[in-house]
């Protein structure tokens, strides 16, 4: 399989690139240092050179959730306008597109897991920009699969796991939010899911549309931090003595987060035959691999 991968230097993109290489696929990976996807001409120039690929995967995005509140223009340029550029280029060359979106398209007010049919109502600029990206994509091109994911962690880039390990080495006390619920999703597991979908598409599957995927089981940030600290403490001496559970109201951030980020994965399991994986196994690997 030949893939065009946009955003190959992000935490998900790097895992996709590595998985394709080990599986013997041919991947042409590009990131901001090689192409700015907010520039339509650059996108079309790139696609004209790689029009023979089987599938395009977009793992590029503006992901600084809090910064987006004051950096609106760039967040919308990357998460909305650039997605339209990619969709139009895919349409021009008749290429299927797999694009990643987020649980932040929801308000989090629902008390059960979110399905693909649930009403979207993002709380902040990041969620709004990602939602408008999804909408523009499907207005421009219909051979597309959007996979909404949540709480990404992995060995590359910055994420909650790395932040907690760093803070647990620096501080004796740490406070973490206990009343926001979600499913951590390993970047390596997302790569598995995206490549599975790409292979199905290459084999002729045409189940386009929006899908949800996340790891299992449900947790909250406090419990997740507890697991991270327990695992990291088996590898390295930590300074932390006390982990406090606090409410989201006690930890205000520029962007409001959904209280419930849990995604229902039945549709992707049914349509694409994907199994939901336990994030704990991946967490052990990530803690074993990262610099502590």
Ligand X SMILES: NC(=O)c1ccc[n+]([C@@H]2O[C@H](COP(=O)([O-])OP(=O)(O)OC[C@H]3O[C@@H](n4cnc5c(N)ncnc54)[C@H](OP(=O)(O)O)[C@@H]3O)[C@@H](O)[C@H]2O)c1
| Residues tagged active-site | 126
Residue 286 in contact with ligand X, rule: CB under 6 A: no
What are 244's strand-pairing partners?
Answer: 175
Q: How far is the CB of 189 from ligand X (least distance, A)?
A: 12
Quick note: the x/- pattern for ligand X over 21-50, rule CB under 6 A, is: ----------xx--xxxx------------
Cα(209)–Cα(147) distance, rounded to whole angstroms? 9
Measure Cα distances from 241 to 228, 245, 250, 261, 288 in Å: 14, 14, 21, 29, 22
Residue 25 or 81: the one with the smaller Cβ distance to ligand X is 81
* Residue 27 contacts residue 20 (beta carbons within 8 Å): yes
Cα(279)–Cα(216) distance, rounded to whole angstroms? 6
Q: How far is the CB of 91 from ligand X (least distance, A)?
A: 19
Q: How far is the CB of 262 from ligand X (least distance, A)?
A: 13
Stretch that binds ligand X, among 55-63, 201-209, 217-225, 229-237 (CB under 6 A): 55-63
Residue 154 or 238: the one with the smaller Cβ distance to ligand X is 154
> Could you give the 3-state DSSP secondary structure of residue 67?
helix
Is the bond into 217 cis (omega within 30 degrees of 0)? Answer: yes
* Residue 184 contacts residue 153 (beta carbons within 8 Å): yes
Residue 11 in contact with ligand X, rule: CB under 6 A: yes
Distance of CA 233 to the CA centre of its chain: 27
Q: How far is the CB of 178 from ligand X (least distance, A)?
A: 19
Residues of this chain, 125-164, that bind ligand X according to CB under 6 A: 130, 149-152, 157
Residue 186 in contact with ligand X, rule: CB under 6 A: no
Binding site for ligand X (CB under 6 A): 7, 9-13, 31-32, 35-38, 59-63, 78, 82, 100, 102-103, 130, 149-152, 157
């Amino acid at each position: 399989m030949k893939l065009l991968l946009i955003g190959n230097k992000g935490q998900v993109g790097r895992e996709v690139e590595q998985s394709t290489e080990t599986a013997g696929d041919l991947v042409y990976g590009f990131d901001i240092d090689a192409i700015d996807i907010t520039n339509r001409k650059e996108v079309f120039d790139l696609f004209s050179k790689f029009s023979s690929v089987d599938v395009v995967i977009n793992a590029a995005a503006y992901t600084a959730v809090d910064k987006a509140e004051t950096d609106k223009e760039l967040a919308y340029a990357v998460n909305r306008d650039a997605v339209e550029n990619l969709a139009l280029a895919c349409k021009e060359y008749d290429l299927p597109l797999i694009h990643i979106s987020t649980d932040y398209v929801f308000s989090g007010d629902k008390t059960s897991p979110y399905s693909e049919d649930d009403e979207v109502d993002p709380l902040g600029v990041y969620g709004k920009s990602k939602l408008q990206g999804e909408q523009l994509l499907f207005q421009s091109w219909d051979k597309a699969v959007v996979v909404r994911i949540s709480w990404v962690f992995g060995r590359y880039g910055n994420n909650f796991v790395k932040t907690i390990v760093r803070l647990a080495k620096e501080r004796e006390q740490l406070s973490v939010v206990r009343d926001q619920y979600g499913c951590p999703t390993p970047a390596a597991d997302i790569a598995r899911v995206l490549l599975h979908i790409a292979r199905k598409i290459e084999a002729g599957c045409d189940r386009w549309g929006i899908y949800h995927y996340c790891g299992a089981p449900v947790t909250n940030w406090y419990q997740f931090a507890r697991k991270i600290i327990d695992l990291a403490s088996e590898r390295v001496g930590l300074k932390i003595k006390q982990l406090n559970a606090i409410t989201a109201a006690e930890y205000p951030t520029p962007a409001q987060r959904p209280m419930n980020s849990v995604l229902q994965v039945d549709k992707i399991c049914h349509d694409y035959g994907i199994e939901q994986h336990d994030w704990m196994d991946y967490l052990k690997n990530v803690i074993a691999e990262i610099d502590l």
